Amino acid sequence: MFRRVHEVRSIFQFLRERAPHYCPLARDDLHKFRDEIVKASVGASISAAAGLIFACFLSVAVIVSAWDGLHRTEVAWAVCCGWGVLALGGLWYARKAISGPPPFQLTADALARDYRSLLAVADRQEP
């Protein structure tokens, strides 16, 4: 039991020594993550607004152009299908954008590296 208490105490000591090294990494990761989110959000918002306005005017123009023709119902459904394809493309793009690298990679790498070294130290100390 005392050996286990000694192991836990040594782990806490190791973490206390390494904690100051994690703060700058976490700060850098947070800044990177924030910058990526801001850029992606601004770009997506501008693109979505401009695309929506363009598509609305284009849809109205196509339907009005075909109003006097024989195929006005087919044109209206074709415009509706076009909107569906556009929505599916947007979902595909959003899913692709979300599947990027995980945030806080620097901190996770440092923690994993320290955990491996901590396990190696603990294995060497066991008789």
Domain boundaries, the chain: 2-125
pTM score, whole prediction: 0.44
How does pLDDT run across 42-69, given as a tens digit for each residue? 888 888 888 888 888 888 888 888 788 7
| Other beta carbons within 10 Å of 30 | 14
* Residue whose C-alpha is closest to residue 113's, from 45, 35, 41, 14: 14
pLDDT in tens, 60-114: 888 888 788 788 888 888 888 888 888 888 778 877 777 766 777 777 788 788 8
Residue with tokens 């992606």: 40
Q: Give the separation between CA 29 and CA 41, rounded to whole angstroms.
A: 18
